[in-house]
């Protein structure tokens, strides 16, 4: 079977520090994978390697069966949503959504269609003429998701997209992200240090410690049959 994303013997060092160590991971088409673990365990580093924002020290990354280890981020068929929104402050929401497509030389009709569709899915239609400063945190994060959505990619990468939001918004947007996945059926790789988020969103959870995956299982198995004390302790202590 061809996987959506495959990681082969991936290592990354910052100087002498081994941040990722010989990771292997196969993700099926349409799967929602959560990378879970405490701060500093290497979740963002792994995501940034997949996105092409960091060069790996060793190993390979395949997306849609293609070896993308040395491809530019824009050529990898991925869309990324960060913890901080990274919107262009001087542009309207509509411009924020369409900018990347314009730069890529897409026709206006197609751009309009995609912006329409994203704003309908994320219910941000009424916000299109506003600037980011006029939006709430939750609305900004929706626009950030919209920017990945308009690119019509097969793989979404999320790096703690909800951790800057208050508890109520966090649970609302969590439900929306789940719905988004059910509707789009694309592959999602989602980084969090929040056990509840992981247990409610994931098809499978990869629990990381010091740049190594400790267990890769569905939420039920992780919860009921942790492979070691580390996994049991981490799952058992809500953040
Ligand atoms: P997480 O996202 O799980 O909190 P990170 O992937 O950000 O963890 O970081 C993993 C480890 O790599 C940490 O020990 C961090 O200090 C280190 N690290 C991250 N980025 C750099 C960098 N640019 N240079 C040196 N060390 C880094
Ligand atoms: Mg991180």
**Regarding predicted confidence, which is higher, 104 or 23?**
23
Closest C-alpha to ligand 1, atom 5 = 42
Alpha helices in 131-213 (DSSP H): 137-149, 167-184, 195-201
Record the tokens describing residue 77, joined without a space: 């068929």
Model pLDDT, residue 2: 80
At 161-191, the pLDDT tens digits run 998 888 888 888 999 999 999 999 999 999 9
pLDDT, the chain, mean: 94
CA nearest neighbour of 101 among 90, 115, 91? 115
Model pLDDT, residue 4: 96
pTM, whole model, 2 decimals? 0.94
Model pLDDT, residue 56: 97
Distance in Å, CA 35 to ligand 1 centroid: 15
Distance in Å, CA 218 to ligand 1 centroid: 26
Residues 6+ apart with CB under 8 A from 214: 207, 208, 227, 228, 230, 231
Pocket, ligand 1, Cβ cutoff 6 A? 14, 19, 37, 39-45
Contact assessment for residue 205 and residue 199, using Cβ atoms and an 8 Å cutoff: yes
Distance in Å, CA 131 to ligand 2 centroid: 27
Does ipTM surpass 0.95 in this model? Answer: yes
At 67-92, the pLDDT tens digits run 999 999 989 999 999 877 789 999 99
Which of 15, 17, 19, 209 gets mutated to test ligand 1 (max ligand atoms within 8 A of its CB)?
19
Which of 10, 36, 42, 80 gets mutated to test ligand 1 (max ligand atoms within 8 A of its CB)?
42
Pairwise CA distance, residues 177 & 96, whole Å: 20
Pairwise CA distance, residues 229 & 215, whole Å: 11
């Amino acid at each position: 079977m061809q996987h959506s994303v495959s990681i082969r013997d991936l290592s990354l060092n910052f100087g002498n520090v081994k941040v990722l160590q010989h990771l292997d991971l196969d993700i099926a088409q349409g799967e929602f994978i959560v990378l879970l673990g405490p701060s500093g365990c290497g979740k963002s580093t792994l995501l940034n390697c997949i996105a092409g924002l960091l060069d790996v020290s060793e190993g390979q990354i395949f997306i849609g069966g293609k070896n993308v280890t040395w491809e530019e981020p824009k050529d990898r068929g991925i869309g990324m949503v960060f913890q901080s929104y990274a919107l262009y402050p001087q542009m309207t929401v509509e411009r924020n959504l369409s900018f990347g497509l314009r730069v890529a030389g897409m026709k206006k009709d197609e751009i309009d269609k995609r912006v329409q569709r994203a704003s309908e899915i994320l219910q941000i239609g009424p916000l299109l003429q506003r600037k980011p400063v006029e939006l709430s945190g939750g609305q900004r994060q929706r626009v950030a998701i919209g920017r990945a959505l308009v690119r019509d990619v097969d793989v979404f990468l999320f790096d703690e997209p909800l951790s800057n939001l208050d508890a109520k918004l966090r649970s609302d947007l969590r439900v929306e992200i789940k719905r988004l996945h059910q509707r789009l059926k694309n592959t999602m790789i989602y980084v969090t240090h929040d056990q509840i988020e992981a247990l409610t969103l994931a098809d499978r959870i990869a629990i990381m410690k010091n740049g190594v995956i400790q267990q890769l299982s569905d939420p039920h198995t992780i919860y009921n049959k942790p492979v070691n004390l580390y996994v049991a302790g981490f799952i058992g202590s809500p953040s």
